[in-house]
A and B are shown apart, each in its own frame.
Chain A
Amino acid sequence: MDEVIRVDNLSFSYPDGQSALADLCLTVRQGETVALIGPNGAGKSTLLLHLNGILRSNGVVRIFGRQVDDKNLRWVRSKVGLVFQDPDDQLFSPTVFDDVAFGPINMGYSEVEVRESVTRALNWVGMAGYELRSPHHLSIGERKRIAIATVLSMSPEILLLDEPTGNLDPRSKWSLTSLLKRLPMTKIVAAHDLELVRALCPRTIVLDHGQVIADGATSHILADVSLLAAHGLAPAKTS
């Protein structure tokens, strides 16, 4: 089973009628790190929300070959971890421990397993010892790391990250990038930040108007200046 994510002709419109995804097709293989780039409103976040079943439209998303539907949602969410863009949305508990433990507790782990997975996840993101702190006392970089830990504690096999380095200063950005590089699972990273994409992801997908515009090696796609300019990812050419 090499293909971990398969999306066939996924279409989705928001309740107000605004179309977000149109006939989108995509496959991701085991162990890949894929960048999802595109202008604001291209459908990146909407696509990520489909991949772990928060949004479900016409049942054409397959994870490890199984269709995402109402019955296997819990299984899907234990396999696919989604890290949201704003850590203040992701961290809703009074303490860091409660937040990182939230997923494992919902998965029905025993107390010992919960504690182990919390410790492991916090070690992974370099935030051991922060268990009893309140999220609102932490810096944005620290909160981003904790947000990743809340998902790692569930030991997902696929990690979806929405703008992992948004709002970070360069130092925090690069230390987070090297952290993400060390994580062994399959990753999909939605980003505007082409420096991050170049450093982290061998494969890049360009998304615009809810469709895949280009899909290929990062070096190839980022070298195509006219493609990037056409989709708002590089300055328009002035001649």
Chain B
Amino acid sequence: MKHGFIDRYSDRNSFMHRLDPRTKFVTTLLFILVVALTPPNSWLAFALYLALIATLLLASTVPIGYVLKRSLVIIPFVVMIAIFVPFFKEGEVAGSYNVWLWQVSVTYSGLQVLTNIIIKAWLSILSLIWLSSTTKLPHLLHGLEQLRMPRVMVMILSFMYRYLFILVDETMRMKQARDSRNFGGGRLWQIRTIGNMVGTLFIRSYERGERVYAAMAARGFDGQTRTLNHLNFRPVDAYFGISCGLILILISLFSLS
């Protein structure tokens, strides 16, 4: 079955794609940190961050339509978390409405928090999209490993990358098998069926885990993780990392002053 892949477009060849994954990872992390720490209402700073990430994205030759579409996934999460903030935050009232028995009021400072969260989340997701569409996930994992991320966590992530799609396939097959037997009935019955499917999926994954472990043991795996490293950090990575870092620091200093 066909899926969109996490690291789509990462097999292109541009300056951004050729950078060392570690450079890109650290830059992304720094970008997110700086954006998160920027005080609210620093509109110019936000605009400059956007300009920076837009430049990086344009230079990476990833289609802009794809980036924008993908960046929308963050919106439901943000809205779910932050939608009630304008109603509860104290401050100057922007508008007041009567909803049935309650009087609901929206405050300016609450709205400010909401827009802030949305802007920061969106900028952060853009930088992550830049990272994931210019870096193949296996390379990123190698990079994380060399940045001294615990090997066990790197392995867990690499298993996730490998088996995510197999699990999705398995779910789709189960869904097709269910639908082909005319899934209907009452709401309660449907929920029960879905519960059974989740349970089956869990047991199947667990058993697959056992078989994968057997396959690892059969090739001499003894709990020690070993790897060959073949990443090279070139001068251009240093230039890129340092200039991105400088730009970010300048913007944030500027917004603080």
Contacts and interface: CB of A to CB of B under 8 A. Distances in A.
A136 B158 CA distance: 13
Interface string B163-201: 101100000000000000000000000000000000000
Interface residues of A, number: 34
Interface in A142-193: 150-151, 154
Q: Name, among B159, B165, B214, B219, the residue most crowded by chain A CB atoms within 10 Å (CB to CB).
A: B219
Given A86-B211, A98-B138, A92 B220 contact: no
A102 interface: yes
A84 B215 contact: yes
Contact of A114 (B165, B222, B228): B228
User: Which secondary structure characterizes the binding site on chain B?
Assistant: helix
A83 to B, nearest CB: 9
B219 A154 contact: yes
Q: Name, among A93, A94, A150, the residue most crowded by chain B CB atoms within 10 Å (CB to CB).
A: A94
A134 B8 CA distance: 13
Interface in A111-149: 111, 114, 134-136
A94 B161 contact: yes
User: Which secondary structure characterizes the binding site on chain A?
Assistant: helix
Interface residues of B, number: 26
B214 A54 contact: yes
B137 interface: yes
Contact of B166 (A101, A136, A151, A154): A136
Interface of B: 137-138, 141, 158-159, 161-163, 165-166, 208, 211-212, 214-222, 224, 226-228
Interface of A: 49, 52, 54, 73-74, 77-78, 81-82, 84, 86, 88-95, 98, 101-103, 105-107, 111, 114, 134-136, 150-151, 154
